[in-house]
Amino acid sequence: MGTNSRSTTIIIMDTKEDVPGPAQLSDTTAVCFVSVKGLKDNWQRWSDERQEYQKHNPFSQDSRPSVVVPQRGKEDDYGRPTQGSRTEQRGQDAHTHVSREVQVLCEAIRNIGEHRDVDGEVITVKFGKLFEHYVTISNKLVGILLRARKQRLVDFEGEMLWQGKDDHVVITLLQ
């Protein structure tokens, strides 16, 4: 195996006239020219964008009176990520994922629950039985139950359900 004896030299210059001639460079040298003006322009553009962003950031240390601090209840987008941002997209994806998990939970309750009235519309299941069945589906049963209750899809007594302690609590599917 041979070794590559070629070296790279980076030359930083202001203008193309500063380029060294071929007689000043060896045959084994690769040359990369970088313009100082281009580097300076890129840095300045980034700096200007960052300063503008910080003017609108209520958490920055910028105490100038021109800083706009959103007031709770005054704007529709208070506490929400910027539209079109990656943060907004992640929030939408998380909402979709949780909604699917709530649907899977309701389906599991329909499958293993007992019909409590003549029409078969009220379906109930004990938390212990649901926990044993649902553990193969997801490890987030209690959180998904709380979300489903918030959406008025299920109902149960108490604020939180604990494995073992609340195995006898009846969960009712409302829809």
Instruction: Give CA angle at 135 (134, 138), nearest 5°.
Output: 80
Per-residue pLDDT of the chain (175 residues; tens, 9 = 90+): 555 555 556 655 555 565 556 556 555 555 565 677 788 888 999 999 988 888 777 777 765 555 556 666 666 667 788 888 899 999 999 999 999 999 999 898 888 888 877 666 788 899 888 888 887 777 788 889 999 999 999 889 888 888 888 888 999 888 7
Instruction: Mention every residue, 6+ apart, whose C-beta is less than 8 A from residue 73.
Output: none
* Global pTM exceeds 0.75: no
Supply 145's token pair: 């139950």
d(CA 48, CA 68): 18
Answer for the pair 168, 101: CB distance below 8 angstroms, yes or no. Answer: no
Note whether 67 and 55 are within 8 A (CB).
Answer: yes
What one-character DSSP code corresponds to residue 12?
Answer: E
Q: What are phi and psi of 87, to 5 degrees?
A: -65, -45
- Give 40-63 as a 3 state SS string: HHHHHHHHHHHHHHHHCCCCCCCC
The domains located in the chain, with CATH, are: 7-79 (no CATH), 86-173 (1.10.10.1540)
